[in-house]
């Protein structure tokens, strides 16, 4: 049987993005479950601010590849840092470019599951951003995974060896990855 395909989209414009590191951790989990995973690092796409003109002119190889992967995907994992109480403009900009999927037979992310992860610097951060992400997913006709999660204390998440420090965060990320895999299997059938 064909493998479950998951597109992981996120990160930030910073060189050592904790958001990207969390996304990569969850991607590893999904691979262990047997998924084929594609990681789309927002920074590497380097897209100009969205306009229809910019969308028509886009020749960016990474973006073209992302669109191809999205069309073939069974599910998605989104990760954004919290900037001033909502998703970062870099994350939202890539989402706006998904307008390219608007005229598809099944537009945007139609009926596909999306796990969302929001990271904030403050103690109980990320919840407002998580709500924005879930709203984005529903507007793109996707199905938000119930175990989508907010993570606080983002700058303290990893130790010097790059391992996640918090057992609670690990447990929640594993739960979300497992759930996303199951949802992708069930909604594909």
Ligand X SMILES: Cc1cc2nc3c(=O)[nH]c(=O)nc-3n(C[C@H](O)[C@H](O)[C@H](O)COP(=O)(O)O)c2cc1C
Q: Where along the sequence are the contacts to ligand X (CB under 6 A)? A: 12, 14, 17-19, 81-85, 119-122, 125, 154-155
Q: Which of 142, 133, 70, 139 is closest to 110 using CA atoms?
A: 142
Find the shortest distance in angstroms from Cβ 81 to ligand X. 3
Find the shortest distance in angstroms from Cβ 125 to ligand X. 3
User: Which residue number, 12 or 177, has a Cβ lying nearer to ligand X?
Assistant: 12
Find the shortest distance in angstroms from Cβ 61 to ligand X. 23
User: Which residue number, 100 or 176, has a Cβ lying nearer to ligand X?
Assistant: 176
User: Which residue number, 20 or 114, has a Cβ lying nearer to ligand X?
Assistant: 20
Find the shortest distance in angstroms from Cβ 74 to ligand X. 26
User: Which residue number, 102 or 155, has a Cβ lying nearer to ligand X?
Assistant: 155
From the number of C-beta atoms within 10 Å of its C-beta (0-12, 13-18, 19+), residue 182 rates as: middle
Find the shortest distance in angstroms from Cβ 173 to ligand X. 15
- Residues contacting residue 134 through CB under 8 Å, at least 6 positions apart: 116, 144, 148
- Residues contacting residue 59 through CB under 8 Å, at least 6 positions apart: none
User: Which residue number, 110 or 135, has a Cβ lying nearer to ligand X?
Assistant: 135
């Amino acid at each position: 049987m064909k493998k479950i395909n998951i597109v992981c989209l996120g990160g930030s414009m910073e060189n050592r993005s904790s958001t990207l590191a969390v996304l990569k951790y969850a991607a590893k989990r999904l691979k262990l479950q047997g998924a084929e995973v594609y990681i789309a690092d927002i920074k590497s796409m380097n897209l100009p601010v969205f306009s229809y003109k910019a969308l028509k002119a886009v020749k960016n190889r990474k973006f073209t590849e992302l669109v191809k992967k999205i069309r073939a995907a069974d599910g998605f994992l989104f990760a954004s840092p919290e900037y001033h109480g909502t998703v970062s403009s870099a994350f939202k900009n890539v989402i706006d470019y998904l307008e390219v999927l608007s005229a598809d037979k099944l537009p945007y992310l139609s009926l596909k599951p999306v796990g969302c992860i929001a990271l904030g610097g403050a103690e109980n951060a990320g919840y407002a951003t998580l709500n924005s992400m879930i709203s984005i997913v529903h507007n793109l006709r996707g199905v938000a995974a119930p175990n989508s999660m907010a993570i606080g204390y983002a700058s303290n998440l990893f130790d010097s060896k790059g391992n996640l420090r918090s057992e609670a965060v690990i447990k929640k990320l594993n739960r979300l990855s497992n759930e996303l895999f199951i949802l992708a299997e069930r909604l594909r059938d």
